[in-house]
Chains A and B, each alone.
Chain A
């Protein structure tokens, strides 16, 4: 069945495209933003603003 052979090639090609997209975006992002900015997330940020966890 030729369609299944084509499906195999299509799956490889699509996987490669998705991989290239992810890696390209990753490298672009890392070069465009500072490390401090990228790693600025802190646990409990929203709670610190909106919730006091007190009764």
Chain B
């Protein structure tokens, strides 16, 4: 250990490390919790949002977008699994960037993470309010105020996160499993395997109404099928066995989502014409209603609510870990790097992000909030190919122990970079102004970090991983 730290520029000596082992986050999670964190954040995208891809280019365009996004996220999952199983620390991609690329990239990636997850949390809370309002409308009560339910969703999940990570992600495991099972039940109940099927693919399927440009435009919303699976990395410091749990949970998660996405597409396009499906607010719930079964309608209604809560819950967990890690390294005020001595959670980061989520949930339009989340996520995916290529160069396979080695390097990195480029163009077609505004925002905060904030960072203390010296140094 001492040789490693002495040989590595920037790695702290033992005297600079933590005074006690007890001051950190609690290592209590297993692979199932990692699966629940990743799939929990994403599964709401199957219940709503992905179907706008159908509106952009028709049913087949949505399927092509689903598969291309599946390839993009498989690359993300493989790359993340390798790097995070080695850089097993809170902050996920932020910590990877700090060790592998440098402080400015790390600061930006940290902000991408916090904004992507906090905005997604706000969007989920808005959706909870919408769902309660819909249920009230179905029971004959018009004019329900959704705000108390939006606030309650955020406060309840923040409280859960504040109290401990094991309860938080066990809760996510239960509600995510329920929501995923609901999709499987809907598929089995409507399939021809058990009698007459309401699916009408032969009548409803059309070609590409807007041609290949529609396919390109559909890529923007194709991300919804998988957006957030990379959030599994944020639990790296709280799993019992990072080298085993992180790759297993992340890769099992992306496989689960590929199955859920394909089943969702198959069900919905077989029950609804593409013109309607492309504008639906809750397509799986609508599909259940069109099946004619009350039990399925109730099941998918609860599934929609659970998927939304699971996503918001995972987002609070991930955003707070990224904020906490940045505080711990003094990239932000070190006050945020505190851990609750009893619950062992980054409690100040959790509290700090609550009012921000509330402001966006109560005051911003849903599509803007979601777009900000998607764009931040996309910037994060674009950094990953560069990250893994530098990781393999600085620490080749025979120099450092990895929990998982992703195959065919650098093919996944190149494929990911190309698909990110295509998706940026697709997003630019629909939300060019937001894209430019957001990039301008990140440039301004980068300048602030470089000229004003980095002087407070203790350069040696931020590298406490017991790694060997990188090649070339």
A residues with CB within 8 A of B: 1, 4, 8-9, 11-12, 14-15, 18-19, 21-23, 25-26, 29, 33, 35-49, 51-55
**Which residue of B139, B149, B334, B354 is within 8 Å of A39 (Cβ)?**
B334
**A18 and B155 in contact (CB under 8 A), knowing A8-B148, A26-B348?**
yes
Quick one: closest B residue to A4, CB to CB? Answer: B141
Beyond known contacts A41-B339, A43-B465: 17 more, CB 8 A cutoff = A1-B139, A4-B141, A11-B149, A14-B152, A15-B151, A15-B155, A22-B155, A22-B159, A25-B162, A29-B340, A38-B341, A40-B339, A41-B24, A43-B91, A53-B400, A55-B398, A55-B400
Whether A37 lies near B465 (C-beta < 8 A) is: no
One of B13-21, B187-195, B410-418 contacting the partner: B13-21
Whether B95 lies near A26 (C-beta < 8 A) is: no
CB contacts under 8 Å to A, within B3-42, are 4, 12, 14, 17-21, 23-25, 27
**A44 and B465 in contact (CB under 8 A), knowing A4-B136, A29-B340?**
yes
**A42 and B464 in contact (CB under 8 A), knowing A4-B141, A54-B401?**
yes
List 6 tightest A-B contacts by C-beta distance, closest first. Answer: A40-B23, A11-B148, A42-B18, A1-B141, A44-B465, A38-B338
Minimal beta-carbon separation of B291 from chain A (angstroms): 27
- Cα of A42 to Cα of B86 in the assembled complex, Å: 16
B351 at the interface (CB under 8 A from A): yes
Q: Residues 130-154 of chain B: 1 if any A CB is under 8 Å from the residue's CB, otherwise 0? A: 0000001001110011001101100
B467 at the interface (CB under 8 A from A): yes
**Which residue of A12, A42, A55 is within 8 Å of B151 (Cβ)?**
A12
- Cα of A45 to Cα of B464 in the assembled complex, Å: 8
Q: Chain B contacts of A25 at CB under 8 A?
A: 162
**Which residue of B1, B347, B399 is within 8 Å of A55 (Cβ)?**
B399
Quick one: closest B residue to A44, CB to CB? Answer: B465
- Cα of A39 to Cα of B324 in the assembled complex, Å: 10
- Cα of A30 to Cα of B158 in the assembled complex, Å: 18
Whether B144 lies near A18 (C-beta < 8 A) is: no
Minimal beta-carbon separation of A26 from chain B (angstroms): 6
Residues of B in contact, count (CB < 8 Å): 60
Whether A39 lies near B1 (C-beta < 8 A) is: no
- Cα of A1 to Cα of B13 in the assembled complex, Å: 66
Quick one: closest B residue to A40, CB to CB? Answer: B23
16 residue pairs A–B, Cβ–Cβ below 8 Å = A8-B149, A18-B159, A39-B334, A39-B335, A39-B337, A42-B23, A42-B24, A43-B325, A43-B462, A44-B465, A44-B466, A45-B17, A48-B1, A48-B17, A53-B400, A55-B401
Whether B148 lies near A40 (C-beta < 8 A) is: no
Whether A43 lies near B95 (C-beta < 8 A) is: yes
- Cα of A33 to Cα of B4 in the assembled complex, Å: 33
B198 at the interface (CB under 8 A from A): no
- Cα of A38 to Cα of B335 in the assembled complex, Å: 9
Q: Which of A12, A36, A47 has the most chain B CB atoms inside 10 A of its CB?
A: A47
- Cα of A15 to Cα of B145 in the assembled complex, Å: 15
Whether B148 lies near A12 (C-beta < 8 A) is: yes
B209 at the interface (CB under 8 A from A): no
**Which residue of B25, B162, B465 is within 8 Å of A41 (Cβ)?**
B25
Q: Which of A29, A39, A41 has the most chain B CB atoms inside 10 A of its CB?
A: A41
Q: Chain A contacts of B456 at CB under 8 A?
A: none
- Cα of A45 to Cα of B148 in the assembled complex, Å: 41
Q: Which of A1, A8, A33, A43 has the most chain B CB atoms inside 10 A of its CB?
A: A43
Whether B1 lies near A22 (C-beta < 8 A) is: no
Whether A19 lies near B468 (C-beta < 8 A) is: no
Whether B89 lies near A43 (C-beta < 8 A) is: yes
Minimal beta-carbon separation of B350 from chain A (angstroms): 8
- Cα of A52 to Cα of B339 in the assembled complex, Å: 25
Quick one: closest B residue to A43, CB to CB? Answer: B89
Whether B17 lies near A53 (C-beta < 8 A) is: no
Minimal beta-carbon separation of A50 from chain B (angstroms): 10
- Cα of A46 to Cα of B240 in the assembled complex, Å: 10
Minimal beta-carbon separation of A32 from chain B (angstroms): 8
Minimal beta-carbon separation of A51 from chain B (angstroms): 7
Q: Chain B contacts of A18 at CB under 8 A?
A: 155-156, 158-159
Q: Which of A19, A45, A51 has the most chain B CB atoms inside 10 A of its CB?
A: A45
